[in-house]
Chains A and B, each alone.
Chain A
Amino acid sequence: MVRMRKAVDVRHVSKEINGVKVLDKVSLKVERDERVVICGPSGSGKTTLIRCLNGLSTFSTGSVTVLGVRLTDDPLSIRHIREKTGMCFQNFNLFPHLTILENCTLALHHVRKISGLKAIEMAQHYLERVKIIDQADKYPVTLSGGQQQRAAIARALCMEPELMLFDEPTSALDPEMVSEVLAVLSDIAKSGMTMICVTHEMRFARKFADKIVMLDEGKVVINTDTQDFFKTTDNPRVKSFLRLLDKR
């Protein structure tokens, strides 16, 4: 029964900031074990949408249900959702005063109450998976952007979430570091994790996404299977967006 529930169910969510509609009646369904890529031009509301899923941003109307928990003003509902959801940011947001390993073990200690050695083993397991186990005792500032983002992914995976949210994980990276982060993302995608990823990397989307959602000016322009998305050349907005990306 539980497995049948949708991972994410967003219904008619709207959000307005100073009279500008950031999100305009957005609806989105994500099944379990599904990988969804959200794309769209900048300012289209992609980041706001993904931040609404775990309560980092608020919305004015509509409803959001994540992993069977309805998101309300009640801090308890937000906590339930965050316990089962991991998130990675554009700017990594590693904790600069802690080593990479400590970044990973901190929440294990204090949230999941896993003690010393066990927590370190878990952290090492995930650091190995993102291939930066040799950097475990360094401080974030000494790492490259790509390594930092992989550390941030390991930190999120340590919590063993059921759903992973990625908010433009490669946008702040130098081009030569994008591929190493995408390799990690692909690895996670292959493992069957439910993923929602805001990204401009359409090649990654084509290969690993089950579904592609395109936003523009706060509205869902297109919400379709990956194959259909790249075939839908008749949609002028998709066409212009893809052309824009090709130019980069």
Chain B
Amino acid sequence: MAIHQSIVRTRNTIHSCFDTRLNTLITLSWLIVLVFLFVPMVRWSIIDSVWSGSITECTPRGACWVYVRENARHLLYGLYPADQAWRVDALVIAISAQLLILWQVRLSVIRLAVGALLVIGMPVISYFISYGGLFGLTIVPAQYWGGLLFNLLFSALSISNAFVIGLLCALIRQKKWGIYSGLIKLYIDLIRGLPLVSLLFFATLVLPYFFFDAKQSVKIIRLYWIFTFFGAAYMAEAIRGGLQSITSGQYEAAAVLGLSEYQAMMYIIMPQALEIAYPSIMNLVIALLKDSTLLSTVAVLDIVGMMQATSARVEWMPYAVEGYLMIGFVFWVLCYGLSRISDRVERQIKVFR
């Protein structure tokens, strides 16, 4: 039945492409554009490309995916020593597991514990496991950190922290606590008025004059908090939008049942506000994940920085385009996956709205 319907729909679509003279003309001109665009693209990237073997087999006619293959380890782990890479793997697994628990487990005690671990514990734990020096781990200074896994770890932790800070900011603004609400508004307006790149440069070049020295390991911490507070400002606004759409009747119903203000927030208001704010929060998560590549502008060897560094070697120099395309593809897959997940959760939410 479904197959039959889709056949009919396809036939109708095709028919409507050629039903009038004008439509035929439009369809044909699009086809010509597609052919001219895609045929060379497919030929370059797939048919004439070199996937394996050595770099000497690469020709200017086709893509040289050997470059990605040969540098895969660096693009994943940065300059992290190969014999120590298990530390990064362990962190990725631990954080993925925590996010999975937060997503799937319904029991509020476990969620609260895992959430607290992720937000308060994991940034510190991740830093010390990556850096080493404790429990006999070799020290790996931060200028060796990098690659795609760095992007993922950095943004996962930073976004989690930004969510909690944004939540608190949204609550304080909503409660109208005099000067505190004013200060939060100032902070949000300030951050929203500044481009992320300028904030990253501020953290790298200006902040060391006031606190912390210019060591790379400390620089990562400064960048982490700037990135987090950047995300938190947007989070706060997204969540506040959700809070404002809750009617006063919900507060009153909670109050007359004898729930305290905290309980009403925790069990009635916040769950609904977060559900309403969910699409904009997910939008922000995707944007921040992509923004983590901007760290390459301040000499962090994240996936983009690492790609630029590897393609700076003479033999790889002609193949930077392959690197950028690969990064684009990886991020597209990541963000597409995230938006599929968010679509699914949104559909679940609609059930009771």
Taking Cβ atoms with an 8 Å cutoff, the residues of A that contact B are: 54, 56, 79, 82-83, 85-87, 89, 91, 93-97, 106-107, 110-111, 139-142, 152, 155-156, 159
Contacts and interface: CB of A to CB of B under 8 A. Distances in A.
Nearest to B274: A97
Contact of A141 (B250, B255, B263, B352): B352
Nearest to A90: B249
Contacts of A79: 258
The A contact surface, by secondary structure, is mixed
B256 A54 contact: yes
A142 B257 CA distance: 23
Contacts of B254: 95
A140 B263 CA distance: 21
Contact of B252 (A89, A96, A159): A89
Interface in B243-288: 247, 249-250, 252-259, 263, 267-268, 271-272, 275
A93 B250 contact: yes
A97 B257 contact: no
B256 A87 contact: yes
A149 to B, nearest CB: 13
A216 B86 CA distance: 78
A95 B256 contact: no
A107 B258 contact: yes
Contact of A139 (B253, B263, B272, B351): B351
A82 B258 contact: yes
B272 to A, nearest CB: 5
10 contacts: A56-B252, A83-B258, A85-B256, A89-B253, A94-B253, A97-B272, A97-B275, A110-B263, A111-B257, A159-B257
A68 to B, nearest CB: 17
B353 interface: yes
B272 A159 contact: no
The B contact surface, by secondary structure, is helix
Contact of A91 (B249, B263, B271, B275): B249
A139 B349 CA distance: 11
B267 A106 contact: yes
A93 B251 CA distance: 9
Contact of A96 (B256, B257, B263, B272): B272
A110 B351 contact: no
Nearest to B262: A110
A205 to B, nearest CB: 23
A34 to B, nearest CB: 21
A141 B259 contact: no
Contacts of A152: 253
B271 A97 contact: yes
Nearest to B266: A110
Contacts of A93: 247, 249-250, 252-253
Interface string B220-257: 00000000000000000000000000010110111111
**Closest 6 A/B residue pairs (Cβ):** A139-B352, A93-B253, A107-B257, A93-B249, A111-B258, A87-B256
Contacts of B268: 95, 106
Given A111-B259, A139-B352, A152-B253, 10 more contacts: A56-B256, A82-B256, A82-B257, A86-B256, A93-B253, A95-B272, A96-B353, A97-B352, A106-B259, A110-B263
Nearest to A87: B256
A134 B268 CA distance: 24
A176 to B, nearest CB: 24
Contacts of A56: 252, 255-256
A95 B250 contact: yes
Nearest to B268: A95
Contacts of B271: 97
A93 B250 CA distance: 6
Nearest to A80: B258
A89 B249 contact: yes
Nearest to A165: B256
A106 B253 CA distance: 12
B352 A96 contact: yes
B249 to A, nearest CB: 4
Interface in B19-34: none
Contacts of A111: 257-259, 263
A79 B247 CA distance: 22
A107 B259 contact: yes
B150 to A, nearest CB: 37
A85 B252 CA distance: 13
B275 to A, nearest CB: 6
Contact of A110 (B249, B253, B267): B267
Contacts of B263: 110-111
A107 B268 CA distance: 11
Nearest to B253: A93
| Most chain A Cβ neighbours within 10 Å, of B249, B271, B352 | B352
Contacts of B351: 139
Contacts of A96: 272, 352-353
Contacts of B267: 106, 110
A163 B249 CA distance: 20
A129 B222 CA distance: 61
Given A97-B271, A141-B353, A159 B258 contact: yes
Given A97-B275, A141-B352, A82 B249 contact: no
A95 B275 contact: no
Nearest to A138: B352
